Amino acid sequence: MSSTVLITIISLSTLGLLAAIVLFFVARKFKVYEDPRIDQVEEALPGANCGGCGFAGCRNFAEALVKAESFEGLNCPVGGSDTMKSAAEILGRVAPEVEPRVAVVRCNGTPEHSPRTNSYDGAPNCTIAHSVYGGETGCSYGCLGLGECVDACDFDAMYMDSVTELPVIIDDNCVACGACVRACPRDIIELRKKSKKERKIYVCCVNEDKGGPARKACKVACIGCGKCQQVCEFDAITIANNLAFIDSDKCKFCRKCEPVCPTGAILELNFPPRKPKEEKEAKVEA
Amino acid sequence: MNKLLKISPSPHVTGKETTGKLMFGVVIALLPALAATIWFFGWAALLVTAVSVVSCVIFEFLITKYILKKTPTINDGSAVVTGLLLAFCLPVNLPVWIIIIGALVAIGVAKMTFGGLGNNPFNPALVGRVFLFLSFPVQMTTWPVPRGFATGYADAETGATALSILNENYDKGNIDSLLNTPGSELPGYSQLFWGEMGGSLGEIAAFALILGLIYMLAKKIITWHIPVSILGTVAVFTALLWLANPSSNIDPLYHLMSGGLLLGAIFMATDYVTSPMSGRGMIVYGIGIGVITVLIRRFGAYPEGVQFAILIMNAFTPLINTYLKPVRFGEEVKHG
Amino acid sequence: MNQIKNFTKGFIKENPVFALFLGLCPTLGVTTSAINGIAMGLATTFVLLMSNIVVSLIKNFIPDKVRIPSFIVIIASFVTIVQLTMQAYVPSLFDALGLFIPLIVVNCVVLGRAEAFASKNSLWSSAVDGTGMGLGFTFALGLLGAVREILGSGSIFNYKFIEGDGMLIFILSPGAFLALGYLIVIVNKLGKKGS
Amino acid sequence: MVIALLTITLIASASLGAVYEVTKGPIAAAMLAKKNEAILFVIPEFNNSPTEDAYSIGTDGDSIFFYPGYNNGELVGTAVESFTNMGFSGKIKVMVGFLPDGSINNYRILEHAETPGLGTKMEPWFRDETGRRSVLGLNPGVNNITVSKDGGEVDAITAATISSRAFLDAIQRAYDNMRKGE
Amino acid sequence: MLKTFPKGGVHPPENKLSSVSPVEVLPTPQQVVIPVSQHIGAPASPVVKKGDMVKAGEVIATGQGFVSANIHSSVSGKVLKIDKMPDSTGYKQLSVIIDVEGDEWDPAIDRSETVVREISLSAEEIVKRCNAMGIVGMGGATFPSHVKLSVPPGKKCDILIINGVECEPYLTSDHRIMIERGEELLTGVTIIMKALGVERAIIGIENNKPDAIENLTSLAAAFSGISVQPLSVKYPQGGEKQLIRALIKREVPSGKLPIEVGTVVHNVGTAVAVYEAVQKNKPLIERVVTVTGKDLARPCNLLVRIGTPVADLINFAGGIPESTAKIVNGGPMMGKAISTPEVPVTKGTSGIILFTEEEAVRNPSGPCIRCGKCITACAMGLEPFLLMTLASRALTERMEKERIMDCMECGSCSYICPASRPLLDYIRLGKQLTGKVIRERSHK
Amino acid sequence: MEYIIIIIAAIFVNNIVLSKFLGICPFIGVSGKVETSLGMAGAVMFVMTIATLVTYLIQTYVLDALGIGFMQTITFILVIASLVQLVEIILKKVSPSLYAALGIFLPLITTNCAVLGVAILAVQQDMNLMQSVVFAIANSIGFGLALVLFAGLREHMDLADIPKSFRGVPIAFVVAGLLAMAFMGFAGIV
Ligand SMILES: Cc1cc2nc3c(=O)[nH]c(=O)nc-3n(C[C@H](O)[C@H](O)[C@H](O)COP(=O)(O)O)c2cc1C
Ligand SMILES: Cc1cc2nc3c(=O)[nH]c(=O)nc-3n(C[C@H](O)[C@H](O)[C@H](O)COP(=O)(O)O)c2cc1C
Ligand SMILES: Cc1cc2nc3c(=O)[nH]c(=O)nc-3n(C[C@H](O)[C@H](O)[C@H](O)COP(=O)(O)O)c2cc1C
Ligand SMILES: Cc1cc2nc3c(=O)[nH]c(=O)nc-3n(C[C@H](O)[C@H](O)[C@H](O)CO)c2cc1C
Ligand code: SF4
Ligand code: SF4
Ligand code: SF4
Ligand code: SF4
Ligand code: FES
């Protein structure tokens, strides 16, 4: 072995040794503990940082998960139960099963149903419009049609229909993150339980006015007459403030309520056609 | 009254100023300089200007429409201003294809990549110019001498600009003799003022640029802060150098009127989009440009430094905007 | 793991330069011509391949605590070997790449791969991964080099196809940044369309 | 753990040492070859070994090296490794060959950081016969080898006057020091 | 040089079409709709029922808590119903609807024309009386006046400022009051001075109302401690912080009230209302409203009962012109567009302006060109362009740091912006978001 | 004067990031916010100065003395790696907030070309001890300047309307290109 090789070996080893020793002592002196599971959980999350969980980004949520006593109320809507399961596995806990949900727009105030009374000329933003005036129609509860919900959706699951001037949800893309629900200043959008074959039945109105004014503002407004509540056998329908609401967790999709509504405020979608009353069906779908 | 009543948040009246009118005002302010350059360089100058303006507008149209898929924004006139100013800092004998590349870079790279009007951190026309300067140094530093009307400039006689002559001679210590020798290559003050000398299109005639400044100040298109702080800083800095060593430096007046300083200080440093927004910020920005300009002119490799100085201070603009806020109400006068 | 996918991922989807934004200094620094870019890429590939192999061979013997230092020593050794070899047998290339040869040591791609892949996978996978990533890196550098050479010098692989000079700026530093910025967008657009 | 690290270091350093041993020769040879090739290029044929007969003069914080070439004992030319700090981007190193009468036989740029496409034109420019570009055959002792802008006899590279000045400065420096050394 | 505030401001065309029209009395309407919330603070709670007969000046709803105000019937007649009715924004609000029968007033009210100069009430009694009479600020904010008349413990007020600026274009109601009711006004000022315990009051009036300046200056000689100060014309000089700065060179710090710098600001209309409440026992049941517009047949100033439909006012002034595209309640810079002329006049209605299509249309907004004109225009020294961007991205933390809550919503920024950006629209949104965050934090 | 030239050259003329292409990864990675970038600049300055000092000593008194110059790369990287780890451990304890801000980038300083590059450059340019240290400090200031300017520009762009496909890294490169272009103006100042 030549002397160069020898010198090389000796000097490098000494250097390595020295560095190792210094580091060893410093590391001892300045030790800080950070839960390694936070990293693991974060890796299991989708990383969309959408805030659907209610936390500021995925890492924040991971920290919350690690700290949480139970997973009650903690859910990543984007990743769904699979993600929660793997997070639970990492932390050795059981995750609650969450039922998949999908957003619906509870307003049917198309120009045809709800004639325009004013024209809005402010900044195209629903919250701004909502805070300065009641709306372009006589209904001060309905959709303002400026698409703030659409802008909020990170998953290309919404668009504004130019004819109805209402937002439309593309069920296949919707991950039920709830961003649109939070964005809408009028609480028009709701996350409802997903059902087989994308079936939906819900009151497509949020107007709390009494029957007369409500009807005057919009042909398909819910007038709070209570007929649907009477026919529902499952206690799924409640009426409050002149407005009916169908609880998607209780609804059994029996379709009894839809025909009794005098204004057509209840919508049913993706059901097979009814035999005798086809005429009405067509009207609602239009 | 059969229409629907309009509803909107206040205010319900608006001022008369629009983006388009402001840009048009800048174009008007540039007309004297355009006239001067046509006077000295003939139709070739108009050709360069036209090519630049038209290609800027066309590029903006094509990019907004086909690449960004937005509604084209050429009506606001900002592309016209960019085109004009780009042309104004090019030599008159520049081949057309190079001008077109410059326009593409100015609009495509410096402006539209950032989302168009209002979003670009760097001055588009200057980016276009510096890009060309660094890409085609030979073509960008051959300056035809003015021959008046009607002649082509493809094969014109070329000469050095005032600043490049100075740049060659600072270290030789013969500046004062150069200036005082009749018939020396170095242009005199009246040439600087009226514009009969080599240089890029828009920079030669000081009087035309000053007319533009007066117009823009009168029309409130710009405020005094930026031009005054730049010119003031250059004057002070060069005066100090000159007083310390008159044979290796030229006097402040000469500095002010030569090169692209006036064009830059009046029209390019004042670009709204890329300059600070508060008065205090503008002054800091102007001082920065002044100092860097003189440093580059006097000590750097390039005879002229305004273009770089403005771009460098453009980079500082966001920081200036963050740290030099307007004076808030309640900050200045405390309890009376 | 599918070895073919493992190999090809480095080209577009996980391209160290275009997708992961790693190893950017040599990417910008040496790509004044296609040849330089490719040479740098291949030198890096060699180091990547060898260090991946060695790391995956000895992964079980290295305690966790000294994992990173050990990797660095291994990588640095291979870099020095490349350095000495190039200096001896291709001195002109060595001069052209200059400082960036020793800097392969700190190329995040190399250490990143050793740490993220080789220390967890088999010899064969690691070798495939190293080669794939290395060639992906080479591809990126070659592409950027080619673009800059074509625009900046009007030539490709030293073959001049226009009279006179190109757009000088592309040989200079601003051109490097600009070209890379636009290349990333274009490559990512094409990549998305492809998959 | 220390043992593992130590083992790795040991193996690494040993193999490095070995590679170094192997490449030491070729590296030195490559460096010498480069120099010899440049010398061969700038002075007429010789049959001594100029690198062995080399001598140097220190100036401006660096050194200038002289490689005299003899053919059968007769001086046929001197290759001078000269430098200048006046380049556009710092130092430029050139090898320039003088015939015994002091006229420039040929030159080669060894090292520089000038801008490609501008300053890099030094290599072909100053032996190009167009106009007054070429410095070959000029004698710095007789001719004024500065750029024409400065009143000299050589045309500067278009848009690269700085590099041209620097190049000529290196040549002049080589000549002056060669005369001084004699 | 006339006094003014130093920073910011704009100068919109004044268009004071009705400044020479004396105040006319609008006949009582057939029905009035009186909302129970016409002021800042808690809504009042109705004390009448359907079918009750009321006289003009009778309390129909009582204020809830300190910052609130009583509501009085402005007419005599029968309560038709108490129901939710659309207010000027189109949202429904609890209102008392009264069918007018005759014009019978509460006997306690002194309806004579004679001006009573002698002040018999003590400071506390004045405050109590204002509270009982439902006096709120007439300058636009409708802040209950009794609150402003009671100086909080620990604070001291040394000077009263009376706001006769009326810097909004078109509006002339304060102008007419200063000309026609100078003596009542000055007596009102003296009453307020007594309530606050100050020796000095300054009335600030913009120089475009020389007749008002002249009238008050000559009358003020007979009142001790009151002076009139002409100001140069610049919007938003009527903003209280700007006015204080212009008149006495004090700057109210961010987030603080004028009392912090030893002053209180009241509008001239408020001073007259205080006079009437204190000396004549008359509640706030009518007010002067300017009805104006370029195409309106007869721009005028009207004395109007609260609750009168806006349509009645317009009809009196010549009817809605065909060209009308927008109707604004208040001034063009700060007023609110109303969705239908059926809505009622309230205590805060200083003017009704009918805009033509040409004036009403907002130019399409373009990208911000960072011209800085909004910064120059903002009298609060804010950066509206930045606030708008931050608001549209809901960056509340940064908005708070950039002092969005200082914005007084004067609209100068939107007015001046060459790119027609809806700056104030977004700044309001930002203020809402930020205000919510701040409130939540202070609750914790 | 000599030191002034070194300083100006390193900060403006041959800016380590914009013209030498060293330390690009952290330049692109940690430049989102002005505050973080200031922290990063500080960390780099600290590490770079100490690293250059130590490596200079090792080069002169170990490698050159023993004639094993070829071991430069491996010894330098070892020294730098240990140093960074040292800084990391200490910072974690002393200023957790700064540590949190710099996050994963502290370890990245190890694999940061700037530190190793400057150490090697100082040796290559035959500088003496004092010159090397000044050189290191000047370069880290240059790094900091570029980083902070860049962070300011990126904060500005966060609020701008950048086309989707350019957001993030690509636009950062375009800005870096334009910044480098502006800095070309300093050519020849020293
Ligand atoms: C990007 C760029 C690189 C340059 N590189 C060099 C160079 O390497 N050498 C040089 O002498 N001049 C170079 N120059 C030109 C000088 O800045 C200067 O203009 C020139 O040397 C003197 O002008 P002249 O030769 O046209 O008289 C360069 C210019 C640019 C724009
Ligand atoms: C929440 C709030 C509290 C106030 N408290 C007081 C107060 O305690 N004393 C007072 O004199 N004025 C008070 N004011 C009234 C303000 O000083 C001011 O006169 C009022 O907001 C109307 O002014 P503007 O029209 O300029 O907005 C208060 C206002 C608000 C909004
Ligand atoms: C932008 C702006 C402009 C204002 N202009 C006036 C005005 O011209 N006249 C006026 O009396 N009050 C104006 N005010 C309201 C005053 O700030 C303040 O609230 C009022 O003078 C207080 O008196 P009050 O409580 O008696 O209404 C304005 C407020 C703002 C925010
Ligand atoms: C006073 C003023 C100066 C301007 N200066 C320039 C300029 O120097 N360069 C340029 O490209 N555009 C200029 N413009 C046009 C416009 O602002 C510019 O294209 C924007 O930077 C594009 O976003 C100017 C506009 C104004 C109003
Ligand atoms: S539609 Fe609503 S809930 Fe569904 S993904 Fe979009 S934002 Fe989320
Ligand atoms: S649903 Fe809500 S957010 Fe969406 S457009 Fe309608 S009002 Fe706006
Ligand atoms: S509305 Fe607010 S931000 Fe705009 S100018 Fe007025 S105070 Fe300033
Ligand atoms: S006035 Fe309008 S365009 Fe000018 S800076 Fe303000 S928001 Fe931007
Ligand atoms: S490659 Fe240089 S810092 Fe990453």
Give all domains of chain A, ordered by start, each with its CATH number.
37-91 (1.10.15), 101-269 (3.30.70.20)
Q: Could you list the residue range(s) of the whole structural domain that residue F140 is in?
A: 16-184
Tokens 């306690």 map to which residue?
E108
Name residue A272's amino acid: P
Establish if B118 touches chain E: CB-CB under 8 angstroms.
yes
Nearest-CA distance from B331 to chain F in Å? Answer: 25
How far apart are alpha carbons D166 and E436 in whole angstroms? 69
How far apart are alpha carbons E173 and E238 in whole angstroms? 14
Tens of pLDDT along E155-187?
A: 899 999 999 999 999 999 999 999 999 999 999
* Stronger pLDDT, F75 or B97, i.e. the higher one: B97
Touch F-E: 3+ C-beta pairs under 8 A: yes
CA angle B300, B86, B281 (to 5 degrees): 65
Sign of the alpha-carbon dihedral angle for A14, A20, A22, A25: negative
Helix (H) or strand (E) holding C5: helix C3-8
Q: Name chain C contacts of F112, Cβ cutoff 8 Å.
A: 106
- Confirm if A109 and A215 have CB atoms less than 8 A apart: no
The set of residues, in sequence order, having a beta carbon less than 8 Å from that of B223 and lying 6+ positions away, is: B217, B279, B282
- Confirm if A183 and A152 have CB atoms less than 8 A apart: yes
Considering only the beta carbons, identify the residue of E365, E422, E428 that sits closest to A131.
Answer: E428
Residue B236, SS3 per DSSP: helix
> Which of A184, A183, A144 is closest to A166 using CA atoms?
A144
**Order of all β-strands in the sheet with E324-329:** E23-25, E300-305, E286-293, E351-356, E324-329, E336-338
Touch D-E: 3+ C-beta pairs under 8 A: no
How far apart are alpha carbons E96 and E305 in whole angstroms? 14
Ligand 3 pocket, residue E344 CB under 6 Å = no
Which of B1, B5, B8 to probe by mutation at the A interface, max A CB count within 10 Å?
B8
If one counts every other C-beta atom within 10 angstroms of the C-beta of residue D89, the result is: 19
Ligand 9: residues within 6 Å at CB?
C 23-25, 107-108; F 23-25, 112-113
Number of domains making up chain F = 1
The bound ligand whose nearest atom lies closest to the alpha carbon of A128 is 6
Q: Are strands A266-269 and A200-203 parallel, antiparallel or unpaired?
A: antiparallel
Considering only the beta carbons, identify the residue of E340, E361, E425 that sits closest to A123.
Answer: E425
pLDDT tops 80 at residue B235: yes
Ligand 5 pocket, residue A105 CB under 6 Å = no
Touch C-E: 3+ C-beta pairs under 8 A: no
Percent of chain E beyond pLDDT 70?
Answer: 100
Q: Name chain B contacts of D87, Cβ cutoff 8 Å.
A: none
Residue B87 DSSP one-character state: H
Establish if D18 touches chain A: CB-CB under 8 angstroms.
yes
Helix (H) or strand (E) holding D84: strand D74-87
Considering only the beta carbons, identify the residue of B6, B116, B330 that sits closest to E325.
Answer: B6
Provide mean pLDDT across the span C131-144: 91
Percent of chain F beyond pLDDT 90?
Answer: 21
Largest CA distance in chain B: 82
Residue D149, SS3 per DSSP: helix
- Confirm if C21 and C114 have CB atoms less than 8 A apart: no
CA angle F94, F96, F99 (to 5 degrees): 105
Q: E residues 28-87 near B, CB within 8 Å? A: none
Q: Which of C129-133, E219-223, F46-50 is predicted most confidently? A: E219-223
How far apart are alpha carbons D106 and E171 in whole angstroms? 91
* D25 within some domain: no
Sign of the alpha-carbon dihedral angle for E345, E348, E349, E350: positive
Identify the contact set of chain A against chain B, taking CB-CB distances under 8 A: 116-123, 128, 132-133, 136
Q: Name chain A contacts of C69, Cβ cutoff 8 Å.
A: 16, 19-20
Predicted pLDDT of residue C153: 85
How far apart are alpha carbons B146 and A264 in whole angstroms? 82
Q: Mean pLDDT check: name the lowest of B292-306, D42-56, F162-176.
A: D42-56
Question: Buried b / exposed e across C12-40, counting CB within 10 Å, b at 16+?
Answer: bbebbbbbbbbbbbbbbbbbbbbbbbbbb
> Which of B309, B215, B218, B217 is closest to B255 using CA atoms?
B309
Touching A (3+ Cβ pairs <8 A), the chains are: B, C, D, E, F
Q: Quickly list H helices, chain F.
A: 2-8, 24-29, 34-58, 65-66, 72-94, 96-102, 105-110, 113-124, 129-158, 169-183
pLDDT tops 80 at residue A58: no
How far apart are alpha carbons C182 and C142 in whole angstroms? 15
Tens of pLDDT along F78-119?
A: 888 777 777 777 777 777 776 766 554 566 666 678 888 899
- Confirm if E332 and E350 have CB atoms less than 8 A apart: no
CA angle E283, E286, E292 (to 5 degrees): 155
Predicted pLDDT of residue B331: 77
pLDDT tops 80 at residue A139: yes
Tens of pLDDT along B104-154?
A: 999 999 999 999 898 999 999 999 999 999 999 888 888 887 776 655 555
Establish if A56 touches chain E: CB-CB under 8 angstroms.
no
Q: Could you list the residue range(s) of the whole structural domain that residue D147 is in?
A: 42-181
Tokens 């069906």 map to which residue?
A281
Provide mean pLDDT across the span D104-112: 89
- Confirm if A104 and A205 have CB atoms less than 8 A apart: no
Percent of chain A beyond pLDDT 90?
Answer: 20
Ligand 4: residues within 6 Å at CB?
B 22-23, 26, 78, 81-82, 85, 111, 117-118, 120, 123-125, 221-222, 267-268, 270-274; E 369
* D12 within some domain: no
pLDDT tops 90 at residue E289: yes
Q: Is the peptide bond before E236 cis (omega within 30 degrees of 0)?
A: yes
> Which of C189, C190, C151 is closest to C172 using CA atoms?
C151
> Which of E316, E304, E312 is closest to E350 using CA atoms?
E304
Interchain contact, B113 vs F189, CB within 8 Å: no
Strands (E), chain A: 101-105, 118-120, 158-160, 167-169, 189-193, 200-203, 237-240, 243-246, 266-269
DSSP string, F34-74: HHHHHHHHHHHHHHHHHHHHHHHHHIIIIIIHHT-GGGHHH
Tens of pLDDT along C82-120?
A: 888 888 888 888 888 878 888 888 877 787 777 777 777
Interchain contact, F184 vs C173, CB within 8 Å: yes
Provide mean pLDDT across the span D68-84: 88
Residue F61, classified by CB atoms within 10 Å of its CB into exposed (0-12), middle (13-18) or buried (19+), is: exposed
Predicted pLDDT of residue B3: 76
* F4 within some domain: no
> Which of D129, D141, D52, D38 is closest to D82 using CA atoms?
D38
Tens of pLDDT along C174-195?
A: 999 999 999 999 988 887 765 5
Considering only the beta carbons, identify the residue of A118, A122, A134 that sits closest to E422.
Answer: A122
Q: What is the pTM of this model?
A: 0.88
Enumerate the domain spans of chain C.
2-190
Enumerate the domain spans of chain E.
123-280, 373-442
* D170 within some domain: yes
Q: Mean pLDDT check: name the lowest of A16-20, B60-64, C76-80, F134-138.
A: A16-20
Give the alpha-carbon dihedral of F91, F97, F101, F102, to 10 degrees. 0
Q: What is the CA radius of gyration of chain F?
A: 17
Q: Name chain E contacts of F161, Cβ cutoff 8 Å.
A: 367
Tens of pLDDT along E328-351?
A: 999 999 999 998 899 999 999 999
How far apart are alpha carbons F84 and F114 in whole angstroms? 13
pLDDT tops 90 at residue D157: no
Predicted pLDDT of residue B334: 54
pLDDT tops 60 at residue A1: no
Predicted pLDDT of residue B336: 43
pLDDT tops 60 at residue E306: yes
Interchain contact, A125 vs E89, CB within 8 Å: no
Q: Which CATH class is domain E123-280?
A: alpha beta
> Which of A86, A96, A80 is closest to A48 using CA atoms?
A80
pLDDT tops 60 at residue A280: no
How far apart are alpha carbons C111 and E173 in whole angstroms? 78
Number of domains making up chain D = 1
Interchain contact, A8 vs D13, CB within 8 Å: yes
Provide mean pLDDT across the span F126-148: 91
* Stronger pLDDT, C72 or E319, i.e. the higher one: E319
The set of residues, in sequence order, having a beta carbon less than 8 Å from that of D27 and lying 6+ positions away, is: C84, C87, C88
Q: Name chain E contacts of F159, Cβ cutoff 8 Å.
A: 386, 389-390, 393
Q: Name chain E contacts of F163, Cβ cutoff 8 Å.
A: none
Predicted pLDDT of residue C121: 77
* D94 within some domain: yes
How far apart are alpha carbons E62 and E44 in whole angstroms? 5
Q: Are strands E159-163 and E201-206 parallel, antiparallel or unpaired?
A: parallel
The set of residues, in sequence order, having a beta carbon less than 8 Å from that of F89 and lying 6+ positions away, is: A23, A26, A27, A30
How far apart are alpha carbons B24 and B80 in whole angstroms? 9
Tens of pLDDT along B142-178?
A: 888 777 665 555 556 677 788 888 887 777 777 777 7
Nearest residue in D to B301, CA atom? D88
Predicted pLDDT of residue E213: 95
ipTM for this prediction: 0.86
Predicted pLDDT of residue A27: 60
Distance A126 CA to ligand 5 centre (A): 17
CA angle C42, C47, C48 (to 5 degrees): 90
